[in-house]
Amino acid sequence: MAAQPLESLELLGWSRLFQAQLSEQELESSIPARVFEVHRSGLVLRHAQGEVEVPVGGRWFQRPPEERPTVGDWLLLGADQRSIERLLDRASLIKRMSVSKPGEVQLIAANVDTLLLVSSCNADFNLSRLERYLALAHEAGVQPVVVLTKADLTVDTDDYRMRAQSLGSDLLIEVVNALDPVTLEPLRYWCRKGQTVALLGSSGVGKSTLINTLAGVRLQETGAIREADGKGRHTTTHRSLNLLPEAGMLLDSPGMRELGITDVQSGLASTFDDVESLTRLCRFANCSHRSEPGCAVRNAIESGALDARRLDSYRKLLREELYNSETVAERHARHRQWSRKVKQVLRKPDSERS
């Protein structure tokens, strides 16, 4: 879909949060623009007058990943629309551990209002994976909505809904057929003017089909899934924001078979608030919930009030989060040490640099 001129930045999600970050001089001389696509050589940006492609200089890649632009970010452009002056503070940031670079994070999206956690009513459905997604959403302070697709391929959608609802009594859940616009009507509430909605889910769950049906046009390629295991191949090759006719924005990303978590302590606490509340009732403050007397968690499992699977998932994510967060912290420390050495060398006269 060709980019069209916009009447106001509000259509792109501009708000007082970003406006307040600009100085008087920047208000007069800079151009606020939002990142719609990220490529190796540059960024595709949208601003009030339309679309522009801007190259990314090497100085940005010398910074930690969290300080580099990602899809959904707001940037300030110079008057020439070719230079990035700075990256504005974010309202939210969704990230994961990098698969290819251990100890480094990979940014998924910034300034998202709602996160659609997409699973499907087939072999892809996985409660532990949904808990992982929920931890990311809660940590980012983003509204999560579980979307169960392929409702037309099962006779028991209530079972899938009930199992998803076990993750939280107040968890919002929508069961849809991504090819049927009528079943997607509840999702349009989140796609209001100026709102940014991101989709997160495995390959083959129907994220691209959801986007195409909501947009009313073919924005993303779609593919078939394997009969044997219900898994699909990647049809989305890169993250991108898509402006909808209703003036909301949808952000699709390639399906993720691995979604390592890091720096999500509060997100895990919110996702597993039922387990956390039980731990506070245990007799011993350092209870491991295995064999100690007076363990409220074990008592809840034995009485059927808590699923043993949920406790196992909680433990696994806690261990992973601790390990990954320590790894990222070590990488940041090495980066800071290296930066100090570079600055020290640059301060020396040319004759001493050898």
pLDDT in tens, the chain (354 residues): 445 445 589 999 999 999 999 999 999 999 999 999 999 889 999 999 889 999 987 788 888 889 999 999 999 999 888 889 999 999 999 999 887 777 788 999 999 999 999 999 999 999 999 999 999 999 999 999 999 999 999 999 999 999 999 999 999 999 999 999 999 999 999 999 999 999 999 888 988 899 999 988 776 655 444 444 445 444 445 788 998 887 799 997 766 667 888 899 999 999 999 999 999 999 999 999 999 999 999 999 999 999 999 999 999 999 999 988 887 767 666 666 656 655 565 565 655 555
Q: Is 310 helix (H, G, I), strand (E, B) or coil?
A: helix
CA-to-CA distance for 82 and 94, rounded, in angstroms?
Answer: 27
123 and 225 within one domain:
yes
243 and 115 within one domain:
yes
90, 125, 145 — which closes off a domain? 90
Burial of 279 (C-beta count, 10 Å sphere; 0-12/13-18/19+): middle
192 and 148 within one domain:
yes
Task: Compute CA distances 256 → 126, 139, 141, 204, 252, whole Å.
Answer: 14, 19, 21, 10, 12
pTM for this entry:
0.85
162 and 295 within one domain:
no
| Domain of 18, in residue numbers | 9-90
Reported as a single tens digit per residue, the pLDDT across 55-72 is 987 788 888 889 999 999
Residue 125 inside a domain? The answer is yes
Residue 66 inside a domain? The answer is yes
Strand 114-120 relative to strand 143-149, pairing: parallel
Q: How many domains does the chain have?
A: 3
CATH assignment at residue 28: 2.30.30.140
241 and 153 within one domain:
yes
Reported as a single tens digit per residue, the pLDDT across 294-309 is 999 999 999 999 999 9
